[in-house]
Amino acid sequence: MMAHHGIRAFSTGIGRSSKSILVINCGSSSVKFQVVDPRSREVKIGGVAERLTTDNAFIKYKTKAEKEKVKVDLGLADHKTAFEKVKELVSEHDFIAVGHRVVHGGETFR
């Protein structure tokens, strides 16, 4: 069993396929994402959409083939717009799992 970014990938069922894990972390004004190979733990693509809900939102990402990050201006964008762009960027990958970081609300959600 391997653990990466809080996700446990069991070797049973993964085999030697090129399946990946999509890891997402949403914040109040950002969306972070990575596509990870569960066997090698190599990040195939990763990035962050920032300044969401403002008129100067953008997404920066890097694939393993690129040497530098690519920045795409999103203009006035919300989380839905950011997810649509992330979906475009990761669409060539086949996923066996999706993980999302959840932050506990503390005393507010007892």
The pLDDT profile of the chain, 110 residues, written as one tens digit per residue, is 344 444 444 443 444 457 999 999 998 899 999 999 999 999 999 999 999 999 999 999 999 988 899 999 999 999 999 999 999 999 999 999 999 877 666 676 55
> What pLDDT was estimated at residue 2?
41
Give the largest CA-CA distance in the chain: 46
The pLDDT value given to residue 12: 38
pLDDT of residue 84: 95
Q: What is the pTM of this model?
A: 0.76
Q: What H or E segment, with its residue span, contains residue 83?
A: helix 79-90
With residue 75 as reference, give the H or E element that holds it: strand 70-75
Q: At 52, list the tokens.
A: 């969401």
- Enumerate the domain spans of the chain: 2-104
CATH 3.20.110.10 fits 2-104, yes or no: no
